[in-house]
Amino acid sequence: MGVIERYNRWLNSSIVSKEDKEILKKMSQKEIDDAFFKDVEFGTAGMRGILGPGTNRLNEFTVRKATVGFAKYLLEKYPNAKTDGVVISHDNRHMSREFTLQSAKVLSEFGIKTYIFDSLRPTPELSFAVRYMKACGGVMITASHNPKEHNGYKVYDETGCQLVPDKIKRLVEIIGELPNELEVKYTPIEKPAPIITLGKDVDDEYVKLCESITINNDLDKKGFKIVFTPNHGTSYVNAMRVYNDLGYEVYPVKKQCDPDPDFSGTLSPNPEDPRSYIEPIKLAKELKAQLVVMTDPDGDRCGLAFLDKNGEYKTLTGNQSAAMLIDYIFSEKKKRGTLSPNGVMYNTVVTSSLGEKVAAYYGIKTEQFLTGFKFIGNRIDYYEKLGHGPKFEFGYEESYGCLIAPFARDKDGIQAILMYSEMALYHYRHGKTLDMVWEELGERFGYHEDRCYSIMFEGSEGANTMNKLMTGLRNNPFVLINGHKPVKVSDYQLSITVTDKGAKSPIDLPKSNVIKLYYEDGTTIAVRPSGTEAKVKFYIGVVASSLKEAEAKPEQLYNLLKQALNIK
C-alpha cells in the first residue's frame, strides 16, 4: 500500500478523531510522505518517533498495536505471564501518561497483571522495578534525549534488560502478523487483570541501592558545590534524595526541574548537545560551583561540566568522563582489595579504546558489544545464571551512559551522577581539577580524542540515501584518508573482519549495520545508521602524542572522510 492509500485510510476512518483528521488535512505533501511512507518500525530498540497521526508516527493506534503484540508475546513465552505481570513506567513527554494507561489497559484485558507508578519514573528504576516485582516484563514510554516532538516505546524482559535481538525477533514477528494499526482487534477477557499502582517501597529500595555504591562517602563535602539539572525529566526526585541523604551541597536548576514536556527551560534536553549546559553553567558561575551534572529526560544518561584549572567551565564527552571514572573506581577498589581478580568491564564497538587500556592497567578485561545497553545487561545476566565467570565491575557506552552496580540492567543516570560527584570531590580534595586528571590519563595511556558526528537523512529519500552510503562503504571499505588506507575493516553486518592483506576472521556478535575502519596510527572510524533517528553517525577516535594534536585531529579526519564518501 502506497503513501496516499495509507493517508486516505486514516482520513476516512471512523475511529480517527476529528482533531487528527484536521491535522491530516493541513499536512503538506512532504509531511504526508514522512508520516505515511512506512510503518513506524518496532526494531531492536523498540519504537521511537514523532508524535502525531500517521503510520510512521507514535499515536494511540501504533502504541496499541505494539502492546497487543507484546501481550501475545508474553503469553506465548511465559507460562505465568498473567500472574507475574508487567511493570510500566514513563517519562515527562507529551502523551507518555496516556500511552502508559493505554498499555496497562490492553495488557489487563489480555489477563496480564500490570504495575504502574503514580507518576513519571526514570528508565533505570523501571529496569530495577521489573526485577524487584519479579515481573515477566516491562515497558518504558520514553524518547530518551530526543526533541520534544518525539516519544517512544521500549520493552524489557524478566531480567530488567531490554530485549536483545534473538528475544525481540519473535515479538517483531508477532507484531508484523497483526492487521494494520487501525484494524487491530482482540476480545477482552471477561474479568480484566488488576492494574496496580506501585508503592513507595520501590522508590525507597532503588534509592537505597544507589546510595550503597559509594566508595569514599566520608570525604569532606563542605564547600564543594554541585549544580544539577534533570532537564525537565524523571530524575529530579531520586537525585535530590540521594544527594541530600549523602550530604552533598547541591543546587538544582529550578527552571528545569518541573517535568515539562515542552522543555521550556532548556534549548536541548540532550547531554550531547552543548546548548543543554547553558543554564546549568550560568548558575554554576553565580555560585562558583566546582561541578555541573545533568541527566537526560528518562534518567539513564549523564552529562558533566566542571570548573577547570583556569577558572573556566568545560564539558566532558562520555568517553572522557567514563575513562576517568573507571580509573577512579578501579584504583580505589584496588586500594581496598575489593577489585575482583577476575573482573570484567563492558563497552561497545564504537567506544573509545582508552577505557579498555585503563581497565587493563588494573587487571580488568574488557568485552565489547554492539551499540545498545541491552547487550551489556544481557551479558550480566548470562554470567549470573552461569554461576561462574568474570565479575561485573563496570559497563558503559560513549553516549553518556554507564552502570556501576547491576541491580538495574540498563544504564543508570542516578548511579552515574553520584559517582561522578564523588570522583570530582576526591580529586578536588587532592588539589586537582578534572582537566588535570584528564591530562594525567593522557600522559599514562596516550592522548585520546573521540568524537561523534551526525548527518540527518529525513523522509523516504533520506532512507534511500542512508542505504546508498552504507552500501557504497561496504563495497569499498578501504577508504583512503589523508593518503592512508585502513589496516583492517570490521563489517558487523557481514560478521567479518578483513585486513589489508586479505586475512579474514569472523565476528561473534549479532548482525548490525556498522562498519569500523582501523588505521595504523591508532585512528578508528566507525559508521553506523542510528537505530532511533533518521541519521548516520560517524565515530572518529584518535590517539596522539600531545593534547593539542589530539583535539585538532578528529575534525580534520571527519572532513576528509566526507570528501572520500562524497558527502556534501
Annotated active-site positions, please?
144
What are the Cα distances from residue 153, in Å, to 48, 93, 142, 201, 486? 6, 12, 6, 25, 39
Find the radius of gyration of the CA atoms of the chain. 24
Strands 302-307 and 291-295 turn out to be antiparallel
Pair 38, 57: CB distance under 8 Å: no
What cell does 363 get?
587487571
Pair 514, 349: CB distance under 8 Å: yes
Return the biggest CA–CA distance within the chain: 71
Nearest of 211, 74, 60, 81 to residue 134 by alpha carbon: 81
- CA 539 – CA 451 distance, rounded (Å): 6
Pair 150, 156: CB distance under 8 Å: no
Helix (H, G, I), strand (E, B) or coil at 80: coil
- CA 252 – CA 42 distance, rounded (Å): 36
Strands 114-116 and 86-90 turn out to be parallel
Instruction: Count CA atoms closer than 13 A to 539's CA, side-chain side.
Output: 24
What cell does 236 get?
529530579
What cell does 313 get?
567551565
DSSP state of 373: H
- CA 394 – CA 389 distance, rounded (Å): 15
Q: Which DSSP string corresponds to 501-555?
A: T--EEE--S---S-EEEE-TTS-EEEEEE-SSSSEEEEEEEEEESSHHHHHHHHH
Question: Is 122 exposed, middle or buried (CB count within 10 Å of its CB: 0-12, 13-18, 19+)?
Answer: buried
Pair 427, 437: CB distance under 8 Å: yes
Displacement of CA 257 from its chain's centroid (Å): 21
